[in-house]
Amino acid sequence: MLQFVTEKTSVWERLKNETRPIYLYGMGDGAVRILSAMRSYQISVAGIFASDEFVRGHDFAGYPVRKLSELEAELDDFVIVLAFAVSSPQMIDRIRALGERYQLYVPDVPVIGGGLFTPEYCQEHENEIQAVYQSLADERSRQIYANIINFKISGDPSYLMDQVDSKDEIWNRVLQPTTHEIYVDLGAYNGDTIREMLEYTRGKYHRIIAVEPDKKNYKKLVKFVGDTPSVQCYQCTAWCVDTELPFASKAGRQSAVAADGVMTPARSVDNLLAGNPVTLLKMDVEGAEREALWGASRSIARFAPKLMVSLYHRNEDIFELPLLVKRINPRYRLFVRHLPYIPAWETNLYAVCEDNGNTQYAE
């Protein structure tokens, strides 16, 4: 049994055993997924509420959307199930304050794919989870990893607030970028991570390749890049081979490979690079990280670029992706970090190989 996994009862079982009224806080895709899971566990939902300023007398999923202030005036006690993502300091503080007044859960539902991260699921993948835990390079990574697993089972948001990192800590202490990076950005969105990297390299780099499949995001990316030298943008999705895939465009970063999407070009990193080096590689590709890693496997094995890989889109990402990175190149040191976010989004793998020899690619 995994000694660092202290939570033995799933959030769903806890909710099923509740005698107090249960209210969902928030609307959207996350709420739909949570409601579906609650129905499968035969968990009774008393209603849905939103922050007072967002209530306009509308319904969601067959429930009238109520104000938080109304519930607080009517009920002595109730259980809150958070059903939307929170990242701003103000909203995180609000959730923390609500959790001090009421029992508050944040069920973990996958962004992509099905299934739930229950104690049974954890036990089924015990060997893989233990292997990742033992392979992590520092105690902070092990603590964060343990917290994420315990959060996924319990839905207790305190696990996400206990160990939080800043972008400064990640860039300056883990990634330590140079001024001559050859950066491949998979899921480049509107250029936000390119902008972020340049802040830490004083605007200097050797070459940038940006991949973004969503049409609207790609236009923003191209506008951001402008005539910046040595930057190539590709409107395609990242995959294990060069092909075409159905791709569904959604708001913001939520676009993803999906059966009901429009056929879109897909490229592998190895073919994009055509044997040329890469020193820094980011993968935030909405559930296609496994395929993207395979598509970059020759480059990862040969050049050992610093890696930034999202670990939160699919249930299996938290153990499958770190093990795949070590399989492709065993020399990597693995780190896990979590940026301020509820639920466990922005939990990322950072892989660094100290002898990758980046300096040889400088001009």
Mean pLDDT of the chain: 94
Nearest partner of 240 among 316, 328, 167, 334, judged by Cα: 328
| pLDDT-based confidence at residue 57 (cuts at 50, 70, 90) | confident
Tens of pLDDT along 58-105?
A: 899 999 999 999 999 999 999 999 999 999 999 999 999 999 999 999
CB 225 within 8 A of CB 192: no
Tell me: pLDDT of 251 over 80.
no
pLDDT at 259 over 70: no
CA distance 34 to 40: 10
66 or 263, higher pLDDT:
66
pLDDT tens across 131-186, in order?
A: 999 999 999 999 999 999 999 999 999 999 988 999 999 999 999 999 999 999 99
CATH 3.40.50.20 residue ranges of the chain are 8-107
The DSSP annotation for 126-194 comes to HHHHHHHHHHBSSHHHHHHHHHHHHHHHH--THHHHHS---HHHIIIIII---TT-EEEEES-TTTHHH
Exposed / middle / buried, residue 89 (Cβ in 10 Å: 0-12, 13-18, 19+): exposed
CATH 3.40.50.150 in the chain, residue ranges: 167-361
Cis peptide before 343 (omega within 30 of 0): yes
CATH number for the domain whose boundaries are 8-107: 3.40.50.20
Q: What is the pLDDT of residue 360?
A: 39
Mean pLDDT across the stretch 33-49? 97
What pLDDT, on the 0 to 100 scale, is given for residue 356?
60
Does pLDDT of 2 surpass 50?
yes
Quote the crossing angle between the two packed helices 139-154 and 126-135, to the nearest 10°: 150
Per-residue confidence (pLDDT) for residue 363, from 0 to 100: 32
Assign domain 167-361 to a CATH class: alpha beta
d(CA 151, CA 148): 5
pLDDT tens by residue, 220-246 = 999 999 999 999 999 999 999 999 988
Residue 255 has pLDDT above 60, yes or no: no
Distant-in-sequence, close-in-space partners of 100: CB < 8 Å, separation ≥ 6:
none
**Residue the block writes with tokens 């002898």:** 355
- For residues 149 and 142, give the distance between their C-alpha atoms in angstroms, rounded to a whole number: 11
Q: Which of 4, 337, 319, 324 is nearest to 141 (CA)?
A: 337
Alpha-carbon gap, residue 37 to 40, rounded angstroms: 5
Note the pLDDT of residue 162: 82
**pLDDT higher than threshold 80 for residue 210:** yes
pLDDT band at 358 (very low <50, low <70, confident <90, very high): very low
